[in-house]
Amino acid sequence: MQTNILGTFGPVSRLTLGGGGIGTVWGPASPADAVATLRRAVDAGINLLDAAPGYKICEAMIGEAFDGHLPAGVRVTTKHGLGTVPADTVYARLRASLESSLASMRLQRVDMFLLHSEIRPDDFVYPPGQPPRDERSTCLSLYRESVIPAFERLVAEGLIFHWGITGINHAAATMAALEEAPRPAAVQAIANLLDSPGEMNGTGLPPRPRDVIAAAKARGVGVMGVRAVQAGALTGSLDRAEQSATSADFTRAASYRALCRHWGEDPAIVAHRYALGMEGVDTLVLGVKNVAELEQALAAERRGPHERAQIEAIDALGLRL
Instruction: Enumerate the domain spans of the chain.
Output: 3-315
Quote the pTM value: 0.97
Q: What pLDDT score does 138 carry?
A: 98
266 by DSSP, 3-state: which? coil
Mean pLDDT of the chain: 96
d(C-alpha 75, C-alpha 144), whole Å: 27
Task: Please give the DSSP secondary-structure letter assigned to residue 185.
Answer: S
Which of residues 52 and 238 earns the better pLDDT score? 52
5 by DSSP, 3-state: which? strand
Q: What pLDDT score does 165 carry?
A: 98
What mean pLDDT comes out for the span 121-135? 95
Residue 238 clears pLDDT 90, i.e. is over it: no
Are 183 and 220 contacting, i.e. CB atoms less than 8 angstroms apart?
A: yes
Where are any strands of DSSP class E within the chain? Answer: 3-5, 11-13, 15-18, 48-50, 75-80, 110-115, 118-120, 137-139, 160-166, 186-190, 222-226, 283-286
pLDDT confidence tier of residue 27, bands split at 50, 70 and 90: confident
Q: What pLDDT score does 198 carry?
A: 94
Find the helix or strand (DSSP H, E) in which 99 lies.
helix 90-105
Give the CA distances from residue 223 to residues 21, 78, 135, 219, 261, in Å, rounded to whole numbers and listed in that order: 20, 16, 25, 11, 31
What mean pLDDT comes out for the span 248-276? 97
Are 236 and 257 contacting, i.e. CB atoms less than 8 angstroms apart?
A: yes
Are 112 and 62 contacting, i.e. CB atoms less than 8 angstroms apart?
A: no
Residue 180 clears pLDDT 70, i.e. is over it: yes
The percentage of the chain sitting over the pLDDT mark of 90, rounded to a whole number, equals 95
Residue 241 clears pLDDT 90, i.e. is over it: no
Tens digits of per-residue pLDDT, 80-93? 999 999 999 999 99
d(C-alpha 36, C-alpha 38), whole Å: 6
CATH superfamily of 3-315: NADP-dependent oxidoreductase domain (3.20.20.100)
d(C-alpha 190, C-alpha 201), whole Å: 11
Task: Please give the DSSP secondary-structure letter assigned to residue 143.
Answer: I
What mean pLDDT comes out for the span 247-255? 96
d(C-alpha 187, C-alpha 308), whole Å: 26
Nearest to 105 by CA among 207, 187, 23: 23
d(C-alpha 263, C-alpha 119), whole Å: 40
d(C-alpha 48, C-alpha 175), whole Å: 25
